[in-house]
């Protein structure tokens, strides 16, 4: 399972990193990325993670069967099997990756109905640039 399939299966958003042009699932405390053909990696780094939090997270992840790849004072990286439900759920929880919001069909239809009753629901010729609109004359230099 690659990163795209993992994200689709868990309703997560994949973003492209500016630094290295790789796809990542970005969370509040870390990132999930493709580590190898059969494993995904999870990186927790600096900021609000802290040394105590990293120690607790590392213990939980190792107990779940993840592999420690880098271990720092208050940050580190682990790899995990994306098909293992326990490891995948723990990686999403630890990085605080937020799932995409999904609208129910009833809520979607209610929003669309409310949108049709707004002042912008009619297409005015001025807004769409159709015939009958006056355009400002181009700027003319004064001699």
In a domain, 72, yes or no: yes
Say how many residues make up the chain.
143
61-108 pLDDT tens trace: 999 999 999 998 888 999 999 999 999 999 999 999 988 888 788 888
In a domain, 103, yes or no: no
In a domain, 21, yes or no: yes
Find out whether 61 and 90 touch, Cβ atoms under 8 Å.
Answer: yes
In a domain, 123, yes or no: no
- Structural domains of the chain, count: 1
Token pair for 107: 């809520």
In a domain, 28, yes or no: yes
CATH number, residue 15 = 3.90.1150
| pLDDT over 70 percentage in the chain | 77
Name the residue among 58, 4, 48 with its Cα closest to residue 28: 48
More confident residue, 31 or 127: 31
Q: What is the mean pLDDT of residues 10-34?
A: 87
């Amino acid at each position: 399972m690659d990163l795209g399939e993992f994200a689709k299966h868990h309703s997560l958003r994949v973003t492209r990193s500016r630094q290295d042009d790789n796809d990542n699932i970005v969370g509040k405390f870390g990132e999930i990325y493709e580590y190898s053909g059969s494993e995904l990696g999870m990186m927790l780094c600096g900021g609000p993670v802290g040394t105590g939090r990293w120690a607790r997270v590392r213990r939980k992840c190792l107990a779940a069967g993840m592999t420690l790849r880098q271990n720092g004072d208050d940050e580190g990286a682990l790899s995990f099997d994306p098909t293992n439900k326990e490891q995948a759920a723990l990686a999403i929880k630890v990085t605080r990756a937020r799932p995409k919001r999904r609208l129910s069909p009833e809520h979607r239809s209610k929003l669309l109905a409310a949108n049709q009753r707004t002042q912008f629901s009619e297409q005015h010729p001025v807004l769409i640039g159709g015939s009958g609109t006056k355009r400002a004359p181009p700027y003319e230099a004064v001699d």
